[in-house]
Amino acid sequence: MTTTSLEEQAWLENARRGDTRAFEMLYRSLAPNVYGLCLRLARDAAEAQDCLQETFVRAWQRLGDFRGDSRLGTWLHRIAVNEVLGRRRHEAMERRHLSLVDPDARRSFNDSATLQDLEQAVSNLPDRAREVFVLRAIYGYKHEEIAELLKITTSTSKTQHHRARKLLMAALPDRAEFADADDGDSAPDASAQGAAE
């Protein structure tokens, strides 16, 4: 669904007044992009769908808090990233609890074998490197914005982006575009890289 910023603004104003139809139009317009972010971060379609729904529920509940300092899509991305990270923290606590109860228990959250090579390679990146890479390379966020979203330093964002590109080059040696995608990042020094991992 292609919309103009004027339509989006009108829907937003109406939704703030409690118009659920206007909010539904915002959902239809913005959900595919938010879902893509959730899927790339969560690496699981069902979890991504849950995160998408929770993102829009939270957005509806907090619509009055949206100040308009950024685009609505950017605000929704922030909510979605927080939702994915919150779920990951909850899963980590569950795994720790499960390992205390049954040390032999193993859980896999990446069962899909149907992803294309690039999606699979991105999916296999370490969590922080994947989060930064997805936000930077796919959604075009600046390192400063990524740092704020993920509550890390800008240099850690740059380091993790560099790390992700190197890992992707190793996983996809026939893909030269990662080698040349400098995008203004300077190569991190060894001390910053070690501190960020």
Average pLDDT, the chain: 77
Choose which CATH entry (1.20.1440.230, 3.40.50.150, 3.30.360.10, 1.10.10.10) describes domain 114-197: 1.10.10.10
Residue extents of the structural domains in the chain: 1-112, 114-197
The distance between the two most distant Cα atoms of the chain, rounded to a whole number of Å, is 55
* Cα(154)–Cα(12) distance, integer angstroms: 31
pLDDT of 80 above 50:
yes
Residue 175 has a pLDDT of: 54
For the chain, the residue count is 197
Euclidean distance between CA atoms 102 and 70, whole angstroms: 46
Nearest CA-CA partner of 131 in 155, 164, 87: 164
pLDDT digits (tens, 9 = 90+) for 36-59: 999 998 888 998 999 999 999 999
Cα separation, 110 vs 170, whole angstroms: 20
- State residue 11's pLDDT score: 93
Q: How far is residue 91 CA from its own chain's centroid?
A: 17
Q: What is the pLDDT of residue 31?
A: 95
Supply the pLDDT for residue 91: 66
Split at pLDDT 50, 70, 90, the class of 117 is confident
Distance CA 175, CA 60 (A): 41
Looking at residue 1, what is its pLDDT?
52
The mean pLDDT value for 137-145 works out to: 87
60 pLDDT band, cuts 50/70/90, is very high
149 in Cβ contact with 77 (< 8 Å): yes
Nearest C-alpha neighbor of 146 from the set 181, 55, 154? 154
pLDDT at 129: 93
Statement: residue 159 has pLDDT above 50: yes
CATH number of 1-112: 1.10.1740.10
User: pLDDT grade, residue 28 (50/70/90)?
Assistant: very high
